[in-house]
Amino acid sequence: MSLIEVRGLKKSYGPIHAVRGVDLDIAQGEIFSLLGPNGAGKTTTVEILEGFRTRDSGSVSVLGFDPQKRGLAARRWRNRIGIVLQSSADAGDLTVVETIAHFSGYYSNPRNVDEVIHSVGLEEKQGALIRTLSGGQRRRLDVALGLIGNPELLFLDEPTTGFDPEARRIFWALIQQLRKDGTTILLTTHYLDEAEALADRVAVINRGVIVEVSTPAKLGGRSTAQATVQWRDGATLKSEKSDNPTALVAQLSAQFDGEIPELIVTRPSLEDIYLEMIGGVDE
């Protein structure tokens, strides 16, 4: 059964049709990444799923609940989800541990405060006031606040913006650990390598509709796309696109009698495929 089920979702702001009929199914325990350029309807879709916006038409079920509903049932539903929003600049006068401990008091079964601080790597900063944190540390605090309620479903919106490469790797390991523990994650990101490293499946949204849903490896026919073989022949750098790169490499290997100078075999990156997809739909 799908943890998130969306059918025919539509939302307009005046004359602008932000979402024009989106269908989505996200399964229990998967990391699902929603990709799309700014203004594609990505944020609107996610905010409808998070219960921040109402829809014009279509049906939405998140953990079996309609996020548009209010009242006590909505509180029980919020108790089961975690949301990491894009940015916040608030509560600068509280310490990291005070803030996380306070938020833990909103939930019925929160995670252990120290554990959460440890998992986002903020132990050394736990006594520091939030306004003294760097951008990346602040982002990790945002993530900690999304995790503190021990959610079954976690929304991550651009989680690693402002992270240095090392912090990103540590963060990815944390997300993979969460999946192992059974947390379902909806990730929106601008970093294609992030989607590739983390997501089980990706959906590309453009101009209010889902263009394709697939695994990162297969998106846009990537796995069957032509590979590019590049090598050096004397003074010139040569390259050739091929459906059978292995045969080409074998042939070159025979030609060079062993080692092929500066050999590189590449397939289109997720980014290449993605840019082609959103470029193709755009005018």
Partner 1 sequence: MNKIPSALQIGVRRGGLEIIQFARQRESVVFTLLFPVILLGIFGSVFKNTIAPGVTFSQYFVAGMIASGLVNTGFQALAITIPMERDFGTLKRLRGTPMPVSSYFIGKAILIFVSMVIQILLLLGFGLLFFGLEMPTDISKWFTFTWLILLGSTCSTALGIAFSIIPKSGRGASAVVSPIVIILQFFSGVFFVFTQLPSWMQQIAAIFPLKWLTQGMRSVFLPDSFATEEVAKSWESEKTFLILVLWLIIGIFFSVRKFKWDRD
Binding site for partner 1 (CB under 8 A): 50, 52, 75-76, 78-79, 81, 83, 85, 87-91, 93-94, 98, 102-103, 105-109, 129, 145, 149
Taking the least distance from each CB to partner 1, the nearer of 79 and 230 is: 79
DSSP 267: -
Minimum distance from residue 93 beta carbon to partner 1 (Å): 4
Taking the least distance from each CB to partner 1, the nearer of 104 and 206 is: 104
Are 160 and 168 contacting, i.e. CB atoms less than 8 angstroms apart? yes
Q: Give the separation between CA 10 and CA 23, rounded to whole angstroms.
A: 10
Taking the least distance from each CB to partner 1, the nearer of 102 and 267 is: 102
Minimum distance from residue 11 beta carbon to partner 1 (Å): 13
Taking the least distance from each CB to partner 1, the nearer of 103 and 163 is: 103
Minimum distance from residue 78 beta carbon to partner 1 (Å): 4
Distances from the Cα of 223 to the Cα of 84, 153, 158, 199, 273, angstroms: 32, 30, 26, 16, 11
Please state whether beta strands 184-188 and 201-206 pair in parallel, antiparallel, or not at all (unpaired).
unpaired
Taking the least distance from each CB to partner 1, the nearer of 87 and 223 is: 87
Minimum distance from residue 242 beta carbon to partner 1 (Å): 49
Minimum distance from residue 258 beta carbon to partner 1 (Å): 60
* Sequence-distant (≥ 6) Cβ neighbours of residue 146 within 8 angstroms: 82, 83, 84, 154, 155, 156
Are 48 and 67 contacting, i.e. CB atoms less than 8 angstroms apart? yes
